[in-house]
Amino acid sequence: MKAYWFDNLSGDQREDHDSGRSVTVADLEKLGVLYYNLSDVSAVNQLASERNYKNRDEVTVSPKTMGDVYESKVKSFFSEHLHEDEEIRYILDGEGFFDVRSKDDDWIRIRLQKDDLIILPPGIYHRFTTDSKNYIKAMRLFKEEPKWTPLNRGPELDENEFRKEYVQQYGL
């Protein structure tokens, strides 16, 4: 895992976009973003059961597994959105970037690789992309009644109760 401020330069979303200014795990925690490095799936199972996760799947995001829809999938993952439930991703192979919005609405880029696990709180604006190697395999964990549909950012989302709760809890 490596977290840093996104450079906001134009260019392919899959490039590093590293401004050179790093962000710590403690900084991420202040946004409600939790990071773990877990090499053993039994530790993932324990975390999942503590947080009442009941379902999971595995997805491989790559041209090989997705064929023609790969490029459009990668673009759709990269549209800024939130969920009304936690988002847990455990990286099994490859690499990718989760970008999350800071308190000042800037982007923090989080590079994840094998054994990295991230928990994004409900209501945080974020987006995802593969890196220039175009390959990531991840476990996605869901609660019993998942409400993890991406809600794309727009003015009306300021009124969303999960967004309001997030803003209130983390003092944005």
Q: Which is nearer to ligand KMT, 57 or 159 (CB)?
A: 57
Phi, psi for 163 (deg, rounded to 5): -65, -45
Residue 62 CB, nearest distance to ligand KMT (Å)? 11
We find the least distance from the C-beta atom of residue 112 to ligand KMT, in angstroms, to be 8
CA distance 100 to 52: 24
Joined together, the tokens standing for residue 44 give 């993932």
* Binding interface with ligand KMT (CB under 6 A): 59, 61, 77, 87, 89, 96, 128, 136, 138, 140
Coil, helix or strand at residue 10: coil
Query: Cα(169)–Cα(150) distance, rounded to whole angstroms?
Result: 21
Q: Provide, rounded to whole angstroms, the least separation between the CB of residue 80 and Ni ion.
A: 10
Q: Which uninterrupted H or E stretch holds 67?
A: none
Cβ closest to ligand KMT, residue 49 vs residue 65: 65
The residue among 5 and 77 lying less far from ligand KMT, judged by its C-beta, is 77
**Among candidates 110, 123, 119, which has minimal Cα distance to 139?**
119
Taking the complex as a whole, how short is the minimal distance between the CB of residue 79 and Ni ion, in angstroms?
10
Nearer of residues 23 and 118 to ligand KMT, judged by Cβ: 118
Q: For residue 11, give the 3-state DSSP assignment.
A: coil
* Residues 61-120 close enough to bind Ni ion by CB under 5 A: 87
Which of ligand KMT, Ni ion, none is residue 109 near (CB under 5 to 8 Å by kind)? none
Nearest to 135 by CA among 77, 88, 74: 74
Q: Which residues bind Ni ion (CB under 5 A)?
A: 87
